[in-house]
Structure 1
Amino acid sequence: MFSQLALLLAVALPSLARPINDTLLDEYDYIIVGGGASGLTVANRLTEDSSVTVLILEAGPSDQNEEWIRVPYFMGNDPSPPAEALSGHLDYDWNFGTEEQTSLDGATRHYPLGRGIGGGTLINGFLWNRGNAGDYDEWETLGNDGWNWDNMLQYFEKNEKFATDVTASDASGYSIPATDSSVHGTSGPVNVSFQGYFYPATQNVYAALNELGVPTDSSDPNNGQSAGNSFLPMSMDPTSKTRSDARRALYDPVASRDNLYISNGQFVTKLNIENVVQPANEASVRTTSRGQGDHPGLKLNSLVNVLSKNVNIFNLMPVGSLKDLFGLRKVKRSPPRPMPKREKKEKRALPNVRITGVEYGTDAGATRQNITARREVILAAGAIHTPLLLQLSGIGDESFLSSMNVTTAVDLPGVGNNYQDHFQIATYAPYGNESFPVCESYGADSVADVSNRNEFYSSQTGPWTAGAPNGVAFPSLKSMTTNYSTIASSAQGQTSGQYLADNLDDTVIAGYEKQKALLVANLQNENRSQLEILNDNAGHLTYSVMRPFGRGQVRIRSRNPFDTPVIDPRYGSNPIDLQFFMEALRFNSRLQATDAMAELQPSESYPTAAQVADDAQLMTLIKQGIFTEYHPTGTASMLPLDLGGVVDARLKVYGTQNLRIVDGSVMPMIPAAHLQACIYGVAEKVR
């Protein structure tokens, strides 16, 4: 049996490991910016060759085996954060916020983003799926040879150490199909398995969805064919039932390699480009800035009075109204500079610049350091930081860079554009039938807390082996509403570039139009999911748009790398996305009224039946309630140049000799999935 101490220390660093922040060399073959899932994957594979040297520079800290990170129940949230904390993720969160969402209610949104060795895998919700085969086939259709599902499958498998560890009774009761061994790996670095506790209300939710025509998938949810109810596996060790994050999967086991270096607390401020000189650095925003937390962020303690005793899907959702969800700490920040009007210009041949290394520093007040890359610099900083670093270095839209007093090295208008995210809205219908166990928040019942902790550490069973999401659904629009054809026709009727941001380059608009044609076709396909439904077994269901029509932007606010970024998802900018939510909440009201849900005795509290019946009220509620599902992508898209691309099919940045990007920013269209497995797969494919 595992003791509590043994369980948390079982993943300690190997005794012969090179210490993190060991003395650095003057140069390396490869410098990787970012130590999350993609960066650690690439570093692990590169250092299999002992003749090359690799350095990872990560801005965030090393975790300390905190219980709330390791134990699935907490889902990466400290249950008792300090009063001044912006989120339950503490130092492992960048604590960003969006710009005011003018197509919604004019408010900003909190924007959690993983930070640290392991990145988002330290604090995510564990869920493991890849999306539909068509998601990747469409990447190839957009001009990326070799990125179809059949080709990607080998890289998904290479990353996994999959274990089916559910009893026959649980598999039958919760519709967990037999594992399809042809689509899973069993010797990869990342442990993938199933939770050790199941909430029976899941069965009612599945049955209710079946009543309304959403099928339960009878095949493996990771075979690329799912479009219905699925019980997803998790990034979890099958024995200890603890989180299998990127650090423990990909760095700790190889930390003793002589050719692998990692330094954290290092913020990369610029790519050094041969023969390109940037103007002198602007003054710091504040001398203590670490590029973190200057933006508005969600104050968890401001929600205490509106949270019920029940935990919810992300430990963040109020149960009565969402009006306080975005009670953001206000800070003074300069408004984003408007995108300059683009003049028609003759297309020029791209340069072929060489990246000589990177500049970095611990914070805004520190002396900048430089280090050399002999072969390549590899960006794995994520869909927010990667485009910022490109822009700061002179790679991006020339008109915008000029307006920011940045010397252009490579004119790539796609940098920071084509931003996509899964965004969602929460509903609440608490169960009146108290015979059904619910997932309660830590501290709601101290006796249960002690019992659950003991059960977890003594036998690796009980509620602490599971997060709140317990069974999900990925329904097609066609299975949820009869209005799917009308919505598809409205989307198809939109003119070129309609509802996109102003002053975009023609190539970026052309790339979106290619994507939109694929999105429209999917709306009438019963095998392609348009929404996700997450169930927390406490009365909350969230509805997330999987294939949004809207596109946002990520930009630097100033030339200061420690200034807060301009993150503008432009939620609701395309009215088609708002229509998806209208249909989702109408569907939710019908779901609560099914025979299967009657046993739970749900009380339709948010939205109410009256709000659902009034289109104006419902739209107002939607515009107030939308928030992120934490899946930013697309800001350095893998597309042809004439479609606004930033990287080619080898993930090399156009116009450069030796710069590649391996994170979620390269995804030209967002998969209908939780993204960790997808990002691991992309990184495994890089060669």
Structure 2
Amino acid sequence: MTATIEDVASKSFDYIICGGGTAGLTLAARLSEDPNVSVLILEAGGANIGLTDILRPASYATILGNPQCAWDYTTIKQRGSKDTTHKWFRGKGLGGSSGVNFMCWIKPAREEIDDFERLGNPGWNWNNFEKYIHRTEGFITPPEEQQRLMHLNFDKWDMGTQAIGYPATMQEAELKLQETMVNAGIPLAARPSNGDPVGTYFAPCNYDVRTNTRSYATTAYYLPNKDRPNLAVLVAARVNRILPSSDGGLVFSAERVEFEYGGELHTVRAKKEIILSAGALKTPQLLELSGIGNPNILRRIGIPTKVDLPGVGRNVQEHMTVSISFELRDDVKFDTFDILADPEVLKKHLELYRTGTGLFTTNVTGFTFATLHQITPRADEIIKAAEDKIMKNAASYPPGLLEQYKISLERLRKSAGCEIIIFTGMMTPYPNPVEKGKRYVSMVAALNHTFSRGTIHSVSKDPAVDPEFDPRYLEEEIGKLYLQVWVEMVKFARNLKNVSPLKDMITKEHNPGPDVQTDEEIATWIKAVMSTTWHTASSCSMLPQEMGGVVDPQLKVYGTENLRVVDLSVVPLHFAAHTQAIVYGIAEQAADIIKGKFQQPHVAAAAA
């Protein structure tokens, strides 16, 4: 189904897309709707079509760390988290991370998408996002009985090729965990898929209930269009750099893509445009290897500067998590992922999957998005301290950061940036490991609105050498202060053990455990065990160039004529939601922009 090297090398295509992940496949499908244009995708991973580990839901343990399915990236040591490194897994192969993620289909608050526009990007707002994401969504309504049990009122929801729905198996205990959240003061969310996520709810996922399989970019966008004569996909083709036209013009005109296939270098020519869709981790590296970026960075690796663009690889933002776990009573009838550690039980559930039942027909669906005021009585104190720190240091921030921080302060006051994820099993077995034969539930406290800003920069001119990933977790002064928000979230999650019906289901808190009590001890524990949801964004931010931007509102790289970026790296300010729905929305809107079908609105005012 995919192309051969003879189909591609030294040939010409109208559009060349570097990266066949979530954004790349979506964009290619839309551009190739016009039979008069030719589209090529170059993907470094394999096709992975029909791979069981990808298609079978709830198979996280067999996907992440599998070199066929996932890239195993690692950050540098993080001073803000006790000098530890962090794994940054990403999808490898067609479909990208949509083929290896936890399948959560979650959208942020309306205002957080509108903030893209406030930061100088006309047309990047909630109304357009909702229009474009409906092109992706193909919602499968669950049976009425399941709706009743899960308290789902779709009269207030508005859901738009991709199968989005609820897993085949929902256990009663999950309802009790949601009931615990409501009893703790977090109400049910009324319209979580329509820009108002505040509250607790069961989120849909990219789960096709007709086949009990993952629905992802490959099944939704590639396979239905694989036979188009104007669409070519070459896998196992690692893009090295973008080569400009040799005419010596003042503006960088992207002409060819250099890539490696089978140990040999090749080039392919673009007649119209080249689009980078390699993701937030690799797209900045491709720009730098092409001579586009900060001249100081390029000089260190021996790359001549073709476009002076200091914003490349900066403004990196990430979501962070810690897990609070509780041990279930032996008499609670509730299957958790812990039991799959027993080979015989694993075998049983693999057999059950063939009948459409068992743990492999479940998924992570229980979510709470709360404001800081809902989480802690210290909210006003923390917000005031953050505001004082920001204004004290305002003159020292790089261009554009103060505007972002002001919006972040608004979010701290009123947005639902405090996320609690219900995971039916042990998520992080530290400091206390899993006890054999025991089952657990975890409340994952996810910090979404952070003030930390990291970098992703090349360290070698060799494309095979990964860039340096430095998220700078909790490093800056304001980032350290934001740790207090996380401490309050952990305290809220721990207190759920005193709230019914959870308190009637558990024997004890397993992690962090009785040795962690004071705020200082909680902060130390957070730094030692913190992880990530692998939602890295903003390394090629869509911002005005004078504010550190890399791409303009048409996603065109500043200083270039026909080079665009379409992936999560363009997000200017991170949002409180899981990222895959946003990536689809970005790619759908980008397709209309490239095709000249997007109507550009008036320019919104930037943040004051």
Q: TM-score, normalised by structure 2?
A: 0.90
Does the Cα contact within 8 Å between 2:15 and 2:274 map onto a contact in 1? yes
Give 3-state SS (helix, strand or coil) of 2:71's partner. coil
Q: 2:399 aligns with which of 510, 513, 519?
A: 510
The 5 Å alignment of 1:79-158 reads 87-158=64-135
Deviates more, 1:242-251 or 1:440-449: 440-449
The CA distance in 2 between the partners of 1:659 and 1:355, in whole Å, is 6
Report how far residue 535 of structure 1 moved.
Answer: 2.7
Cα distance in 1 between the residues matched to 2:352 and 2:452: 46
Aligned to 2:541: 637
Does residue 599 in structure 1 map to residue 499 in structure 2? no
Of 203-212 and 40-49, more deviation after overlay is shown by 203-212
Deviations 1:582-625 (A, max 9, x none): 111111221111132122124112112441x2233222111111
What is the match of residue 417 of structure 2? Answer: 529
State whether structure 2 residue 371 is matched by structure 1 residue 494: no
Deviation, structure 1 residue 439? 1.8
- Does residue 1:31 correspond to 2:20, yes or no? no
1:169 is displaced (CA, Å) by 2.9
CA distance in 1, matches of 2:108, 2:361: 24
Which of these residues, 206, 229, 232, is aligned with residue 235 of structure 1? 206
1:389 is matched with 286
- Listed one character per residue, the Cα deviations across residues 526-575 of structure 1 (whole Å, up to 9, x for unaligned) are x5333343332532221111111111100101111111220001111111
Instruction: Describe the shift of the 1:387–1:254 C-alpha distance in structure 2 as closer, same or farther (beyond 3 A).
Output: same
Distance 1:229 1:499 in 2: 36
**Aligned equivalents of 1:369 and 1:654: distance in 2?**
27
SS in 2 for 1:541: strand
Q: Rate the CA distance shift 1:654–1:661 in 2: closer, same or farther, 3 A.
A: same
Q: Secondary structure at the match of 2:370?
A: coil
Compared CA separation, residues 529 and 399, structure 1 to 2 (3 A)? same
Residue 560 of structure 1 corresponds to: 462
- Alignment counterpart, residue 465 of structure 1, candidates 361, 364, 384: 361
**C-alpha separation between the residues in 1 aligned to 2:13 and 2:119?**
35
Instruction: Find the partner of 2:271 among 374, 398, 408.
Output: 374
SS at match of 1:356: strand
Counterparts of 1:532 and 1:20, CA distance in 2: 46
Cα distance in structure 2, aligned partners of 1:444 and 1:104: 29
SS in 1 for 2:41: strand
Residue of structure 2 in register with 1:485 after alignment: 380
CA distance in 1, matches of 2:392, 2:21: 34
Asked whether the 8 Å contact 2:312–2:540 carries over to 1, the reply is yes
**Retained in 2: the 8 A contact 1:194–1:238?**
yes
Which structure has more helix as a fraction of its residues?
A: 2
Deviates more, 1:594-603 or 1:189-198: 594-603
Pick from 78, 81, 84: which aligns with 2:62? 78
| Structure 1: stretches of 5+ with no match in the other structure | 1-16, 80-86, 278-349, 501-505
**2:584 counterpart residue number:** 680
- Aligned residue type for 2:8: L
**Which residue pairs with 2:159 in the alignment?**
184
Structure 1 match to 2:185:
213
User: What is aligned with 1:9?
Assistant: none
| 1:657 partner amino acid | E
Distance 1:533 1:497, change over 3 A: farther
Identity of aligned residues (%): 30
Taking a change above 3 Å as real, the CA distance of residues 356 and 491 of structure 1, as seen in their structure-2 partners, is same
Partner of 1:224: 195
Query: Structure 1 residue 495: deviation in Å?
Result: 4.3
- Mapped partners of 2:168, 2:179: distance in 1: 22
> 2 CA distance for matches of 1:231 and 1:59?
35
Label 1:412 to 1:497 Cα distance change in 2 as closer, same or farther (>3 A): farther
**1:22 offset after TM fit, Å?**
6.2
- Whether the aligned pair in 1 keeps the contact of 2:70 and 2:89 (CA below 8 Å) is yes
Residues 449 and 106 (structure 1 numbering): CA distance in 2 closer, same or farther, change over 3 Å?
closer
Matching residue of 2:437: none
Aligned residue in 1 for 2:253? 354
CA contact (8 A) 1:547 1:670 kept: yes
Q: Counterpart in 2 of 1:314?
A: none
Structure 2 residue 349 is matched with structure 1 residue 452: yes
Letter of the 2:144 counterpart: A
Alignment-derived partner of residue 606 in structure 2: none
1:134–1:149 Cα contact (<8 Å) kept: yes
Equivalence for 2:605? none
Instruction: Report SS of the residue matched to 1:623.
Output: helix
Equivalenced residues, count: 573
Higher strand share: 2
> In structure 2, do the counterparts of structure 1 residues 512 and 610 end up closer, same or farther at CA, with 3 Å as the change threshold?
same
The secondary structure found in structure 2 opposite 1:389 is helix
Match of 1:59 in 2: 44
Name the CA distance, whole Å, in 2 between partners of 1:149 and 1:253: 28
Which secondary structure state, in structure 1, belongs to the residue aligned with residue 90 of structure 2? coil
Q: Give SS of 2:28's match.
A: helix
CA distance in 2, matches of 1:452, 1:20: 39
Q: Deviations over 1:635-682 (max 9, x none)?
A: 000111111111111111111100011100000112211111110000
Distance of aligned partners of 1:663 and 1:376 in 2 relative to their CA distance in 1, 3 Å threshold: same
1:168 to 139, 144, 150: 144
The one-letter code of the counterpart of 2:150 is Y
Shift of 1:179: 5.5
Q: CA deviation at 1:115?
A: 1.1
The answer for the alignment partner of 2:561 in structure 1 is 657
Counterparts in 2 of 1:443 and 1:521: CA distance versus 1, 3 Å: closer
For the 8 Å contact 1:497–1:513, the answer to whether it is kept is no
**Contact 1:532–1:545 (CA under 8 A) maintained in structure 2:** no
Deviations 1:459-491 (A, max 9, x none): x33432112x24111111111001111111121
Name the TM-score, length of structure 1 as normaliser: 0.80
Provide the alpha-carbon RMSD of the alignment: 2.2
Does the Cα contact within 8 Å between 2:2 and 2:235 map onto a contact in 1? no
State the Cα distance separating 1:140 from its structure 2 match. 0.6
- String of CA shifts for 1:104-150, please: whole Å, max 9, x gaps: 20111111111101101111101101111011111111111011101
Q: Using the alignment, how far apart are the partners of 1:386 and 1:496 within structure 2?
A: 33
Q: Specify the SS of the correspondent of 1:32.
A: strand
Query: For the Cα contact (< 8 Å) 1:195–1:465, is it kept in 2?
Result: yes
SS of the residue aligned with 2:400? helix
Other-structure match for 1:579: 484
CA deviation after TM superposition for structure 1 residue 252, in Å? 1.0
Answer yes or no: is the 8 Å Cα contact 2:198–2:416 preserved in 1: yes
**2:454 is aligned with what amino acid?**
G
Partner of 1:409: 306
2:471 is matched with: 569
CA contact (8 A) 1:18 1:257 kept: no
Deviation per CA, 1:355-406: give whole Å up to 9, x if none.
111111137xx33211111100001000010000001111111222223322
Match of 1:262 among 217, 229, 233: 233
The Cα of 1:441 is off from its aligned counterpart by 4.5
